Amino acid sequence: MRIFGSTGPTLTRKRIVLGVTGSIAAYKAVSLLRALVRDGAIVQVVMTQSAMKFVTPLTFEVLSGHPVSTEVFEAHQEMKHLSLPEQADAIVIAPATANCIAKAALGMGDDLLSTMLLTSQCPLIVAPAMDGGMWTHPSVIEHVGTLRARGAIVLDPEEGPLASGRIGHGRLAEETTILEAIQTALAPRRDWQGQRILVSAGPTQEPIDPVRFISNRSSGKMGYAIAEAAQARGAQVVLVTGPTAVPIPRGVEVVSVDTAEEMTKAMSTRLAWSTAVIMAAAVADFRPMHPVSQKIKKQGRSEQTLHLERTTDILASLSAQRTTQLMVGFAAETNDLIAHAQDKLTAKGLDLIVANDVTTEGAGFGSDQNAATLIDRQGGLTELPLMPKRALADAILNRAHELLQSRQSHQAPTPIAGGR
């Protein structure tokens, strides 16, 4: 049974930072705080200067059982803008003013709440409240769009009578809606449960002699992030990885390989087991034709020629052997990104391709962040801005899951005519 207005035991011992900003709806944050505490959450309240004009910190202090934080600079205190988000499972801003939404979208840090958002890694839930047509102002629309694109959950305010006496769109979302959004953000998604994903990651190393090889700049971080995210979302995951320095994600079965040939074999033998294949590895296209068993000496040589031959095209070969698997590939490009990615999608018979421009500053090989465009077989394009690779992994899995579901619903047996 679900008790109305309660999220149940899922918030037990969850650490939530409740940001309160200068809206007339600030008094509703008092009731929200009580509901969170009742559901077992440990709540730290952060107030803006404007918020304190509406409700006193004392109210929140007494009800939360913790001091309220209001300042970046406070004598004899730890750096709250770092410690609060570090310890938090989620940050909830309710009510959120147009001002605080704009600051968050622009990355400003001129008070404790906004500075905290710049250092936080946990889910962010924003419940706006605003009057006088602010919600439909182009600037607010743009900033809300930016926050949503970065993965924040921004709740739509509700329509109804506002503090000004007008009827409009801007009332703080109902408490139950906010509580449900927090619960959803904190409850692990299990939407990949029952699926078996084969993920490839990292570079390959193609030997020249026992001490030298040809490789590339892939760090493996993107593929590892996908494996980790898929496992967290309930999938059984096998990660076939070239040599990397990335820690192995928990609960993921790892198959380590060095060369493109080894990777081909490892992937092919597990293809039939899988329901989806995500090829994030940067596999060498060419390898030395005649690797030698002894170290090549430089003595007496002013130049050295290396003859290369094509390696097996893993994506094309898996694609040819596939039965019902969803196939996702990556296109790391330096120019004509979309055109090259679309060609690869078609040539390799993929369902989805993740196109990323590796020359983008702060993105690509080695970086913890990446930006990408997802292109599906029907020509649908989803542009994803620069974000942590783990967040990008979730965004890729979201799109792949939609494609998997629509494919599985099309594969469902046709009902017998007249049957129910």
Ligand X SMILES: Cc1cc2nc3c(=O)[nH]c(=O)nc-3n(C[C@H](O)[C@H](O)[C@H](O)COP(=O)(O)O)c2cc1C
- For residue 190 the two structure tokens come to 């299990």
Examine residue 129 and tell whether it contacts ligand X (CB under 6 A). yes
Examine residue 367 and tell whether it contacts ligand X (CB under 6 A). no
- The β-bridge relationship of strands 196-201 and 381-388 is unpaired
Torsion of CA 52, 53, 59, 63, to 10 degrees: -50
Answer yes or no: are the C-beta atoms of 368 and 200 closer than 8 Å: no
Q: CB under 6 A: which stretch of 20-28, 58-66, 257-265, 405-413 binds ligand X?
A: 20-28
- For residue 419 the two structure tokens come to 């049957």
Q: Scanning residues 48 to 107, which ones bind ligand X (CB under 6 A)?
A: 48, 50-51, 97-100
DSSP, collapsed to helix, strand or coil, labels residue 406 as: helix
Among 16, 33, 130, 404, binds ligand X (CB under 6 A): 130
Among 11, 25, 125, 283, binds ligand X (CB under 6 A): 25
Residue 142 or 368 having the CB closest to ligand X: 142
Examine residue 134 and tell whether it contacts ligand X (CB under 6 A). yes
Q: CB under 6 A: which stretch of 46-54, 242-250, 322-330, 399-407 binds ligand X?
A: 46-54
Q: CB under 6 A: which stretch of 2-10, 22-30, 293-301, 390-398 binds ligand X?
A: 22-30
> Rounded to an integer, what distance in angstroms lies between the CA atom of residue 41 and that of residue 92?
12
Examine residue 45 and tell whether it contacts ligand X (CB under 6 A). no
- What is the CB neighbour count within 10 angstroms for residue 75? 5
Which residues, other chains included, contact 409 with Cβ-Cβ below 8 Å and sequence gap of 6+? none
> Rounded to an integer, what distance in angstroms lies between the CA atom of residue 353 and that of residue 89?
32
Q: Is 99 a catalytic residue?
A: no
Examine residue 109 and tell whether it contacts ligand X (CB under 6 A). no
Answer yes or no: are the C-beta atoms of 155 and 171 closer than 8 Å: no
Q: Smallest gap, in angstroms, from Cβ of residue 24 to ligand X?
A: 4
- What is the CB neighbour count within 10 angstroms for residue 319? 20
Which residues share a beta bridge with 93? 19, 126
Examine residue 115 and tell whether it contacts ligand X (CB under 6 A). no
Examine residue 155 and tell whether it contacts ligand X (CB under 6 A). no
Q: Scanning residues 170 to 229, which ones bind ligand X (CB under 6 A)?
A: none
Phi, psi of 183 (to 5 degrees): -60, -45
Q: CB under 6 A: which stretch of 19-27, 73-81, 252-260, 369-377 binds ligand X?
A: 19-27
Among 60, 80, 131, 403, binds ligand X (CB under 6 A): 131
Q: Which residues are catalytic?
A: 216
- Contact positions vs ligand X (CB under 6 A): 21-25, 48, 50-51, 97-100, 129-131, 134
